[in-house]
Structure 1
């Protein structure tokens, strides 16, 4: 309640000034005037407290100024209506010049704050901890687990809600992906389904977890009663609990649940203080509030200093805001509207507030988003961002290597057009590096959110698509298709070439797009070697028993792209 009372009192500064002016001006009627001031103050204070309690505005200069303006005007009207000897309608015409000037000065603040907010957009952009990498390197498939889509996970958990005691009281809360004991899982709290459910239940029963990497995993319910939640009312509401302790911070998005090593759930909420005389975020100074849902104890940390079990001290909503400011306001607001020089628009294909959480090889969570051009009807990606979910640092991957690749919207549209009769759609597109080729990996879901297929789409070729039932099966099919694609049978240059020699035990020559592809095996070697006849024309005459010496880029899927080849008796 401290934060609510503080905000309410600060909202009455202008009213107090007006009241003092009225008392001094009406010296002959001071008792009557003071009585009117008291009546108006009590009425407005009760109304103001209720409004602050409901909407919880942060204590910032713009918020307090607007609150003072509204309460000041209402107070002025109330005072004149109670103290004027003339009828109220006529008294309005006789408004005192001094009081009018106070209101005029307050009204001037409105356009001033709007202008300041516009100019602060560039400052917010500059406050982002960021770096740009010239060479865009797509995500490596081994460093980033391919997770199931949250729609599919939510669908499974919803079907398991019957295990919750008094299940009629509850709905499933926000899904949050995190790492628990080296397992990447979705965590979803059980939340009240309405006011009367809260009134009857008082506390929720616990939370669900389900694997984010195993499509066949089943949800598990963990009993852990929580009194303070997102869906609780009055002082048991998490947002109000945080506001009561830190009313001078602005909350970003909805509080999410994180589970510690002992299985205890905590609510986590990103907070920030604004820049200057605005409500625009200073992204270099982000904080996180960690709330005990049993005791309501709130602890504030710098996002990077949060307890180790907190993977997402930066909320997905704040990550989405970072992307927006980074892409749009690189040269300020005016450029974002007119010139649009260097402007990049974040796509909204993510699974959480337009971003997709992923984990790197070190177990650190990042938010992935691809960026496209502000020009309409262009579906090529300019690059992509990764935002560290604990520090908020943004890394933008850009460069000539990925010019011309489709963006995430284009990848989803390819899937959507593939199954129009079934109404299956693409979900959660993520850019991976598959044997040196930028590749969109997309989940295919039915209208009920049930998983149907994986789609692997070559980012530089919308016609190159491979579908499969499992991630491993689809990956191998896609890599084999890459190895036999005429436009792709060449060294990627990302790995050192290895020398191999031996006798050919099997050979296969195929024709694709008017180009001949030669594939062969060597004695005692199960690697499938592939070479384009355009690179070695005489390779089409390769036969079993031929002795060869070659240089190849060997891949970990049992294939090798041959760069050079010498065939005894044919090329030597």
Structure 2
């Protein structure tokens, strides 16, 4: 309530000045004017307090200026009406000057704040902690686990809602991905389904967790009652609780829950103070509010200094805003409209506010987004960004060494066109490094959001697509397809350190594929299955048991290896 009262009082500064001026100038009707000013003040104060309570405007210079002008204008009309003053007469000329001044100020203020907002875009762009790397190195599949799509996870959790006590009161809240005890999981709070449900229930029952890396995992319900939530009303609403504590901070997106080491949920909300006389964000000074959903206690931290259990102290909405500012305003607002030099547009294929959360090998969460050209009908990726979900640091991989790869929109369209009769759709495309090849990995979902398959798409070749029921199956099939691809002779050799292997052939199998012949063999005292395409070594089709060979192979993590070059004794 403190924030609401403070905001309401600040909106009346100009009106109070005008009311005092009315009283001093209207000497013949001073008592009437005082009564009119008081009645107008009380009426407007109550109405404004209700409006502030509902909409919760942040205490910023633009917001308070516009609010003061509106209240002053309406209040002046009230003073004219209640004092029966006739405007624009000789007697009311001093008062008319004030009322006219309000209109002039309003006319000036709106375009002024618009211009200031445009000029502040450069400052917002400069406030982003960013670096650019020339090589658009794709994400490594081991460092960044392939996760279950949120649509699929939500579908499963929705079906498990019956385990919640008084389940008729609740709906499922926003899914948030988090790492708990080295496991990446989705967390979804149980939220009220409406006002009367809140009125009856008073508090929610807890939250669900479900693995974000195991497509076969089932949701678990954790009982943990919460009184202050996103779906609660009045003083129990999380947004209003944060606003009451920090009304001078702008809230970015909706609050989401994260769970500490003891399993206790907390609501976290990204906050920022605007730049100068605008509402534009200063992204170098982002804060996070952490709210206890039982006691409503609010703590404020710099995002990087938030408690360790919080992975996403920067909201997906703020990450999306960072991408937009970084891509559009690299050379200012005017260039973003006309010349568009170096302008990059974030694609909208992300799972949360157009970004996709992923984790690196250290367990740090990042938001992934690929960038494309502002030109229409161009579906090649210019590069991609990774935004650290705690520090806000943005790294842009510009793709200069991987020119010509398709963007995430193109990858999704490939999947969409593959199953038109089933209406299966592509979801959550992420760019991975598969043996040196930029590869889009896409979840294939049915119309109900249920997972069906993985699609592995070679980012530089839209016709190179492999599907699999599991991530491992699809990955193995994709690697074998890469080994057979004539255009991929040196790709895997560039990707990883090759191992030199020699030995005697123990078993060999040769199969004919559409792109050539595929040779698979074992060597003595080695259980690794070696795969070689005849397009890389034509003489390998004559391999037989007992041959002695020396070769270079890219050793994979599933007991297989891709042979890049081979020497066969007696056949060279």
Conserved? CA contact 2:405–2:461, under 8 Å: yes
Question: Once the 2 structures are TM-superposed, how far is the Cα of residue 543 of structure 1 from its aligned partner?
Answer: 4.0
Alignment partners' CA distance in 2, 1:497 and 1:190? 50
Distance 2:219 2:517 in 1: 50
1:46 and 2:53 matched? no
The alpha-carbon deviation at position 540 of structure 1 amounts to: 4.5
Partner deviation per Cα, 1:222-268 (whole Å, 9 max, x = no partner) = 11111111011111100000000000000000000111111111111
Mapped partners of 1:91, 1:411: distance in 2: 74
What is the CA distance between 1:114 and its match in structure 2? Answer: 0.2
Partner of 1:457: 457
1:567 matched to which residue of 2?
A: 568
Residue aligning to 1:550: 551
CA contact (8 A) 1:69 1:107 kept: no
Alpha-carbon shift at residue 539 of structure 1 (Å): 4.2
Q: How does 1:96-111 map to 2 (within 5 A)?
A: 96-111=96-111
Measured in 2, the distance between the counterparts of 1:356 and 1:11 equals 40
User: Which residue of 2 is the match for residue 379 of structure 1?
Assistant: 379
Q: CA deviation at 1:509?
A: 5.4
Moved more, 293-302 or 550-559: 550-559
- 1:265-312 per-residue CA deviation (whole Å, 9 max, x = no partner) reads 111100000011100000000000000111110000010111111111
Taking structure 1 as the reference length, what is the TM-score of the superposition?
Answer: 0.95
Cα 1:284–1:351 change in 2 (3 A) is same
- Change in Cα spacing, 1:568 to 1:222, as seen in structure 2 (3 Å) is closer
- The 3-state SS of whatever aligns with 2:273 is strand
Structure 2 counterpart SS, 1:96: helix
Contact 1:500–1:550 under 8 Å retained in 2: yes
With over 3 angstroms needed to count, the CA separation of the structure-2 counterparts of 1:197 and 1:535, relative to structure 1, is closer
- Counterparts in 2 of 1:422-441, with a 5 A limit? 422-441=422-441
Structure 1 stretch 499-508 or stretch 468-477: which is displaced more?
A: 499-508
| Partners of 1:118 and 1:72 in 2: CA distance | 27
**CA 1:338–1:439 in 2, change beyond 3 Å: closer, same or farther?**
same
Looking at structure 2, the residues matched to 111 and 424 of structure 1 have their Cα atoms a distance apart, in angstroms, of: 48
State the secondary structure of the residue aligned to 1:190.
strand
Aligned partners of 1:174 and 1:79: how far apart in 2?
A: 48
Change over 3 Å in CA distance of 1:79–1:166 after alignment to 2: same
Q: Does 1:209 align with 2:209?
A: yes
1:352 aligns with 2:352: yes
State the alpha-carbon separation in 1 of the partners of residues 179 and 140 from structure 2.
19
For 1:24-423, what aligned pairs fall within 5 Å after superposition? 24-86=24-86, 96-423=96-423
Call closer, same or farther: CA 1:181–1:119 in 2, change over 3 Å. Answer: same
Q: Helix, strand or coil: the match of 2:456?
A: strand
Question: 1:512 Cα shift?
Answer: 5.8
Distance 1:300 1:402, change over 3 A: same
Distance across 1 between alignment mates of 2:345 and 2:271: 25
| Alpha-carbon separation, structure 1, partners of 2:166 and 2:274 | 42
Separation in structure 2 between the aligned mates of residue 13 and residue 322 of structure 1, nearest angstrom? 35
Q: CA deviation at 1:107?
A: 2.6
Partner of 1:492: 493
**Other-structure match for 1:15:** 15
CA distance in 2: counterparts of 1:87 and 1:409, whole angstroms: 61
User: Where in structure 1 are there 5+ consecutive unaligned residues?
Assistant: none
Partners of 1:537 and 1:147 lie apart in 2 by: 39
Residue range with higher mean Cα deviation, 552-561 or 221-230: 552-561
Q: Does the Cα contact within 8 Å between 1:468 and 1:474 map onto a contact in 2?
A: yes
Shift of 1:397: 1.3
Give the distance between the partners of 1:518 and 1:218, measured in 2 at CA: 40
Paired residues of 2:486 and 2:536 also in contact (CA < 8 A): no
- Once the two structures are overlaid, the 10-residue window that deviates more, 17-26 or 232-241, is 17-26
The residue number in structure 1 matching 2:525 is: 524
Shift, 1:91, TM fit: 11
Match of 1:131, SS? strand
* Segment drifting more, 94-103 vs 435-444: 94-103
Give the gaps of 5 or more residues in structure 2: none
Following the alignment from structure 2 to structure 1, what is the Cα–Cα distance between the partners of residues 178 and 90? 65
Shift of 1:513: 6.5
